[in-house]
Chains A and B, each alone.
Chain A
């Protein structure tokens, strides 16, 4: 039987799109969180989740942190965590990281404004 290639709808597609969109801006979000204060991996995941950005696999933040550190945008150091216990590996933003964040924010604003001009505004029920 021939099946037409229809776009899938529903929760699965929504999650997939959310995941793809997040993948495109995760590095920027990461830099923004590190600009607020130094954080360790688990804190970054928690901060993202608090703001509505849940990672499908939360460990995926580590390869990204490694790339960001290798690119010189962040640096790491070990220090005791606020809750006590063994020292954690904290990441903080470097000067290059701050510059990259600013450039990324400008780019993101330009991009999201362009998308807003294309996508209909759901609240008004029509095109903008």
Chain B
């Protein structure tokens, strides 16, 4: 692996590891400095990061993470909420309508999205997948769409008006604002 490949691989891993953007840039700069020094004295980038670059990057990210990662249940709920919000907003925008109909396929899509995001922690490794895996994923994606079609668009379980979508969105926005304020407070107090 070249120096740039090692840095790219680590950056991709860190970008999806609950490490802030500022910290990712700091880690990238520190790693680049070390790799440059190592190459200057005749060592390879591989000797710096070891045989498993992903494990190295994950270990470093875990050490830098300033907050505790939530359990699977809480992450599943968060992903299901985010998926539902995205589905409702997209329904309003794409259909340019004030009312979105929730059908069995909508629930199946949200459940599938939340499960994949929660229980496949290495979904980000997609970036490094070889062609055959991408092909397999495309077939799997088609099968999922077919399954959702078969699950059906009827009966309509619930009609959500525009104000309902806003009301559903509000708790998420509040939590996001609180979390951003807490992060700012932590990074502010950590700064010398």
Known: A66-B63, A67-B63, A70-B63. Contact between A58 and B29, CB under 8 A? no
Shortest distance between the CB of B60 and any CB in chain A (Å): 5
Within 8 A of B (CB), among A33-69: 40-42, 45, 56-60, 62-64, 66-67
Number of A-B residue pairs at CB separation under 8 A = 57
A64 to B31, CA, bound (A): 14
Shortest distance between the CB of B133 and any CB in chain A (Å): 27
Chain B residue at minimum C-beta to C-beta distance from A89? B30
Q: Which one of A56, A60, A66, A75 lies within 8 Å of B192 (CB-CB)? A: A75
Q: Find out whether the CB atom of B50 lies under 8 angstroms from the CB atom of A41.
A: no
Q: How many residues of B contact A (CB 8 A)?
A: 23
Q: Find out whether the CB atom of B60 lies under 8 angstroms from the CB atom of A41.
A: no
Q: How many residues of A contact B (CB 8 A)?
A: 20
Q: Find out whether the CB atom of B47 lies under 8 angstroms from the CB atom of A57.
A: yes
Chain B residues near A70 (CB-CB < 8 A): 63-64, 66
Q: Find out whether the CB atom of B33 lies under 8 angstroms from the CB atom of A63.
A: no
A43 to B178, CA, bound (A): 40
Q: Find out whether the CB atom of B29 lies under 8 angstroms from the CB atom of A63.
A: no
B169 within 8 A of A: no
Q: Find out whether the CB atom of B60 lies under 8 angstroms from the CB atom of A66.
A: yes
B38 within 8 A of A: yes
Q: Mark A84-98, 1 if CB is under 8 A from B, else 0.
A: 001011000000000
Shortest distance between the CB of A64 and any CB in chain B (Å): 7
Shortest distance between the CB of A93 and any CB in chain B (Å): 15
Known: A63-B62, A89-B29, A89-B30. Contact between A57 and B37, CB under 8 A? no
Q: Which one of B34, B63, B66, B192 lies within 8 Å of A41 (CB-CB)? A: B34
A77 within 8 A of B: yes
Q: Which one of A57, A59, A88 lies within 8 Å of B31 (CB-CB)? A: A59
B26 within 8 A of A: yes
Chain A residues near B59 (CB-CB < 8 A): 60, 63
Q: Find out whether the CB atom of A89 lies under 8 angstroms from the CB atom of B33.
A: yes
Chain B residues near A60 (CB-CB < 8 A): 50, 56, 59
Known: A57-B49, A58-B47, A88-B33. Contact between A63 and B63, CB under 8 A? yes
Interface residues of A (CB under 8 A from B): 40-42, 45, 56-60, 62-64, 66-67, 70, 75, 77, 86, 88-89
